Amino acid sequence: MELRWDPILREWIIVSGERGKRPLLPEGFCPFCPGSEEVPKSGWTVLSIPNKFPSLRPDPPKPDIKCDRLYRCRPARGVCEVVIYTPRHDATLADLSVENIRAVVDLWTERFEELSKRDYVKYVFIFENKGRVIGVTLDHPHGQIYAFPFIPPLIKRELESSKQYWKRNGRCLFCTIIEKEKRDSTRVICENDDFICFLPFFAHWPYGVHIYPKRHLSALTDLTDGEKDSFASILKWILRKFDNLFNTSFPYMMVLHQRPTDNKPYPYYHFHVEFYPPYREKNKLKYFASVETGAGTVTFDYTPEAKAKELRDSPET
């Protein structure tokens, strides 16, 4: 395992040859259910455990591939963890009580804080892949955390544009976007005292909503107790809307975008959550095909305004 540098796109690739050989789990066996190997039988609501097949490790092997100044490589140092949302095997984040989701938020915050302290961790990435169509093989509700030894490229891009906006306009790019979306409320899905959820003007995925704290802050650790409750409740709200939209357990990728953890100041960054659900209509998948993947340009075959209305009209109960 190692990191390999792509000198054309200028980004790191995580290569872990042995991960491809992960054993198939026996039918009916769940490694995340209470009482299995690493998971206590009782006494917990949410739990984080090391990923058994990590692509980044605190003590990675030395790269055993020939590298040079163009073909650079470095050890795949970092941390991969799994966050188990509940002991209940047959639930999803959307099914959990707001209190249970709040416990997930608290654990995310705690892991972010702990992993941030390690000197080799430059970015803590919290996410969930949900649904078989995304390639998830374990049904037990869980998310993951990757603690990267570098700032990933999409985050870098967000940092660069928000820094530039801050310099030129003296204010936060994301705060400005929130204000614009609020003023023209056609793409707003739901909001509470502290958070707002909308499909942005520039949405990439048909149901690719963003959630923002209304207060300008850059990480989970900046949230007050009350804001964490509001965060849990807006999460539950949008997840219910997703499930009710097509009467299915809605698949998605969900990512938390926070400031890096390299101890540099990021006053211009604003914490948010992004969703990338793979559906464009009931039973119709949105593929990131040639134009998206090979040219890096998104095609959106609907209007964000119409898709936002669908979600607004979908019940949250």
- Among 257, 259, 286, 307, indicate the residue that binds Fe ion (CB under 5 A): 257
Could you tell me which residues come within 8 angstroms of residue 189 by beta carbon, excluding any fewer than 6 positions away?
Answer: 197, 198, 199, 209, 238, 241, 308, 311, 312
Distance separating alpha carbons of residues 78 and 55, to the nearest angstrom: 8
Tokens of 178: 């929130």
Per-residue DSSP letter, 108? H
4 vs 140, beta carbon nearer Zn ion: 140
Active site residue 142: yes
Out of Fe ion, Zn ion, none, what residue 257 binds, judged by CB under 5 to 8 A for its kind, is Fe ion
CB of 272 to Fe ion, least distance (A): 6
* Chain contacts with Zn ion (rule: CB under 5 A): 30, 32-33, 89, 140, 172, 174-175, 216, 270
> What's the start-to-end Cα distance of the chain, in Å?
45
222 vs 310, beta carbon nearer Zn ion: 222
Q: Which stretch binds Fe ion (CB under 5 A): 26-34, 69-77, 214-222, 254-262?
A: 254-262
The answer to whether 219 and 242 are in contact (CB under 8 A) is: no
Tokens of 279: 């559906």
| Biggest CA-to-CA distance, the chain | 57
The answer to whether 108 and 123 are in contact (CB under 8 A) is: no
266 vs 302, beta carbon nearer Zn ion: 266
Active-site residue, from 142, 210, 270, 272: 142
211 vs 245, beta carbon nearer Zn ion: 211
Distance separating alpha carbons of residues 159 and 295, to the nearest angstrom: 22
CB of 265 to Zn ion, least distance (A): 14
Tokens of 70: 């163009």
Is 241 near Fe ion (CB under 5 A)?
no
Out of Zn ion, Fe ion, none, what residue 102 binds, judged by CB under 5 to 8 A for its kind, is none
CB of 283 to Zn ion, least distance (A): 27
Active centre residues (catalytic): 142
Interface residue list for Fe ion (CB under 5 A): 257
